[in-house]
Amino acid sequence: MSSKIVFLDRGTLPDDHVFRFTFPHEISDYAQTAAADTALRLAGARIAATNKVRISAEDIAANPQLEMIAVCATGCDHIDLAAARAAGIAVCNVPAYGSESVAEHAFMLMIALMRNLPAYRRDIAAGMWQQSPFFCHFGAPLRDLNGKTLAVFGRGSIGRTLAGYARAFGMEVLFAEHKNAAAVREGYVSFAEALRRADVLSLHCPLTPDTRLMIGEDELRALKPGAVLINCGRGGLVDETALLAALKYGTLGGAGIDVLSQEPPAEGNPLLSANLPHLIVTPHIAWGSSEARRKMCEIIVANIEAFAAGRPQNVIA
Which residues are catalytic, by number?
234, 263, 284
Taking CB atoms within 8 Å and a gap of at least 24, the contacts of 17-26 are: 17/293, 17/294, 17/297, 19/297, 19/300, 19/301, 20/301, 21/301, 21/304, 21/305, 21/308, 22/305, 23/305, 23/308, 23/309, 25/308, 26/2
What are the DSSP E strand ranges found in 123-227? 149-153, 172-175, 200-203
Residues with Cβ < 8 Å from 51, sequence gap 6 or more? Answer: 8, 9, 12, 13, 71, 72, 73
Q: Which among 27, 24, 35 is positioned nearest to 57, based on CA atoms?
A: 35
Task: Provide the edge-to-edge strand list for the sheet that holds 25-29.
Answer: 25-29, 3-7, 47-50, 68-71, 90-92
> Is 30:10 a contact under the CB 8 Å cutoff?
yes
249 conformational bin, left if phi > 0, alpha if psi -120 to 50, beta if neither: alpha
Q: What does each C-alpha distance from 240 to 14, 78, 235 come to in angstroms?
A: 31, 20, 8
Q: Give, as one character, the DSSP assignment of residue 238.
A: B
176-180 LR contacts (CB < 8 Å, sep 24+): 176/151, 176/152, 176/201, 178/210, 179/210, 179/211, 179/214, 180/210
Strand partners, 254: 228
Using only C-alpha atoms, the chain has a radius of gyration, in whole angstroms, of 22
